[in-house]
A and B are shown apart, each in its own frame.
Chain A
Amino acid sequence: MRAAVVVFPGSNCDRDLAVAFEAAGCTLDMVWHKDSELPQGIDIVGVPGGFSYGDYLRCGAIAAQSPIVKSVKAHADRGGYVMGICNGFQVLTETGLLPGALLRNAGLKYICKTVGLRVETTQSAYTEGYSAGDVIDIPIAHHDGNYFADDETLARLKGEDRVAFTYTDNPNGAQADIAGILSENRRVLGMMPHPERAADAGHGGTDGQALFRALAGALTAA
């Protein structure tokens, strides 16, 4: 499986994500934001956490207009896999690849801690390594992770089983406790928590490993 990780000015989880992909057996390309094309043969694009473009205007807004993201959108439109973590999730909502938006945390504080996540669906390449209802410990680190969508969108996400993860103890005011969602074709995942920070024994937790392993398994088989 070949993975590409996008690097924006201000990305700071790009190398962590690359290490997690490589540990799961992927070959990896780092892709700079000014590149206009992804390398040939990429199976999955990782959009990492951080503060792309200094969070100017809105988190993810400028990154969503960058040259490489046009190519990432085209990859997703062709049915390719894309995974956005934290700032990457914000970028994916700004591009319209995922519905809704991420607002300032309800408590107005930046929160950095490990939280409990409930696996809401196993029907995706990202979550099939878990069992439905599993509670996993994954770190969050964000100021703007308060998921918002209108009632109609929330009903559709739930009706189509597209909520991937919810918080067991909502830290940021997110609607319906939503921590991560899937696209209609279930190949684009956006999530605020950082599975790449719980993917090695040295991290103090390994609950994120199953996500990368399942993904590598699914994409290698495909």
Chain B
Amino acid sequence: MKARVHVMLKNGVLDPQGEAVRHALGAIGFDGVNGVRQGKVIELDLAEGTSQADVEAMCEKLLANTVIESYTVELS
């Protein structure tokens, strides 16, 4: 089984990389991009039977820093 973890900076935490991407999109002619937030995707290849709670524990302990980041977990 696999899990896909999305980690994003929380709302209210400035994302200067996202801002730089937004400026670059405007500079090459894509109008109307009002905001860009950049995060990361982590794919996990897991033993069968790993639970959502197990993956959330991984996020809390290592994969995300919950002071500045939020995460979502998709199991498949």
**Cα separation A76 to B27 with both chains bound (whole Å):** 50
- Judge if B14 is at the interface, Cβ distance under 8 Å: yes
**What are 14 sample pairs from A and B whose C-beta atoms fall under 8 A apart?**
A57-B62, A58-B65, A61-B62, A61-B65, A99-B67, A101-B67, A103-B13, A103-B14, A104-B17, A105-B16, A107-B16, A108-B16, A108-B17, A150-B67
What separation, in Å, do the CA atoms of A104 and B13 have in the docked complex? 11
Is A173 an interface residue when CB atoms closer than 8 A count as contact? Answer: yes
The interface residues of chain A lying within 8 Å CB-to-CB of B63 are 57
Do A148 and B16 have beta carbons less than 8 Å apart? no
Chain B residues closer than 8 Å to A65, beta-carbon distance:
61-62
User: How far does the alpha carbon of A134 sit from the alpha carbon of B10 in the complex, in Å?
Assistant: 36
Q: Is the interface of B mostly helix, strand, loop or mixed?
A: helix
State which size class the interface on B falls in: 10 to 19
Chain A residues lying within 8 Å of B61, measured Cβ to Cβ, are: 65
Set of chain A residues within 8 Å of B13, measured between Cβ atoms: 103, 148
B34 to chain A, nearest CB (A): 20
Query: Which residue among A58, A107, A108 has the maximum number of chain B CB atoms within 10 Å of its CB?
Result: A58
- Which listed residue, B16, B20, B65, B68, touches A173 by the CB 8 Å rule? B16
Q: Mask for A95-115, Cβ within 8 A of B = 1, else 0?
A: 000011101111110000000
- Which residues of A are found within 8 Å of B67, using beta-carbon distances? 93, 99-101, 148-150
Q: How large is the interface on A (under 10, 10 to 19, 20 to 34, 35 or more residues)?
A: 10 to 19
A94 within 8 A of B: yes
CA distance A173 to B65 in the complex (A): 19
Please name the 8 residue pairs, one residue from A and one from B, whose CB atoms are nearest each other, closest first. A101-B67, A101-B68, A108-B16, A106-B16, A101-B65, A104-B16, A58-B65, A108-B20
- A173–B14 touching, CB < 8 Å: yes
Q: Kindly state the separation between the CA atoms of A103 and B17 in the bound complex, as whole angstroms.
A: 11
Write out, one digit per residue, whether chain B residues 34-76 have a CB within 8 A of any chain A CB (1) or not (0): 0000000000000000000000000001110101100000000
Nearest chain A CB to B18 CB, angstrom units: 10
In the bound complex, CA of A49 to CA of B62 (Å): 21
Find chain B residues with CB under 8 A from A108 CB.
16-17, 20
Chain A 52-77 interface mask (CB, 8 Å, partner B; 1/0): 00000110010001000000000000
Could you tell me the distance between the alpha carbons of A159 and B61 in the complex, rounded to whole angstroms? 29
Tell me, in angstroms, the Cα distance from A37 to B18 when the chains sit together: 41
A103 to B18, CA, bound (A): 13
CB distance from A220 to the nearest CB of B (A): 35
Shortest distance from the beta carbon of A60 to any chain B beta carbon, whole Å: 9
Which chain A residue shows the least CB distance to B67? A101
Q: How far is the CA of A61 from the CA of B65 in the complex (A)?
A: 8
Interface residues of A in 188-210 (CB under 8 A from B): none
